[in-house]
Amino acid sequence: MRKVGILGGTFNPPHLGHLIMANEALHAMALDEVRFMPNFIAPHKEVSGASAEQRLEMTRLAIAGTAQFQLEDFEIRHGGVSYTFDTMTRMAEKEPETEFYFIIGGDMVDGLGSWHRIEELLHLVRFIGIKRPGYESSPGLPVAMIDSPEIHLSSSMLRDRLAKGRTIAFLVPEQVEAYIRREQLYGSKRDASESERTTSRKTL
């Protein structure tokens, strides 16, 4: 039976923290692969600044070149509010020979008991919690907690930096930053060097 990790989220935008979480879970739990699954509409947060298609593309770019990282577009394709129980029920039916592991940050572990149909969800997946600084998690539910390099990074922080014209270098993969600036997401501006290249082509 294959062991597949699922890392869900808005990925608005995806960043190095997401990649570190996935990699640590992959190796600590001896998974065969980790699938990055962008939400269509997350039940606990508003998605703004990028469309579902743009978030999907940024996620694809972020994991490109890593064979054990795969893009899962299930929730984007199905649309609507993305409840983990509904998603994993359908995925388990589609792949009965796969053992699913759902990866969450340590800051989410204590609230796991309030998730939609959590008791039934626990029969569909095993949870992996990534320890985070400042969070001493005691969920009272079966969660495999694993250590990870500490990095204080969030998508909201990156959106704020971009809106203020600050750098996000080394915080997201280069190809993701290039896409953000090309699409002028989150109030960012097109990269100056790219603008110069575009201008040069027009004058040829």
**Is 144 within the bounds of a domain?**
yes
CA distance 24 to 101: 13
Give per-residue pLDDT as tens, 21-34: 999 999 999 999 99
Q: What pLDDT was estimated at residue 197? A: 40
pLDDT band at 191 (very low <50, low <70, confident <90, very high): low
**Is 117 within the bounds of a domain?**
yes
Sorted by sequence, the CB contacts under 8 Å of residue 61 that are 6+ apart come out as: 173, 175, 176, 179
Q: How far apart are the first and last CA of the chain?
A: 58
Residue range 181-192: average pLDDT? Answer: 85
Give per-residue pLDDT as tens, 80-99: 888 999 999 999 999 999 99
Range of the domain at 91: 2-150
**Is 139 within the bounds of a domain?**
yes
CA distance 22 to 36: 8
Residue 200 pLDDT > 70, yes or no? no
pTM, rounded to two decimals: 0.88
**Is 60 within the bounds of a domain?**
yes
**Is 199 within the bounds of a domain?**
no
Residue 204 pLDDT > 60, yes or no? no
**Is 46 within the bounds of a domain?**
yes
**Is 65 within the bounds of a domain?**
yes
What is the CATH number for 93? 3.40.50.620
Our count of domains for the chain comes to 1
**Is 185 within the bounds of a domain?**
no
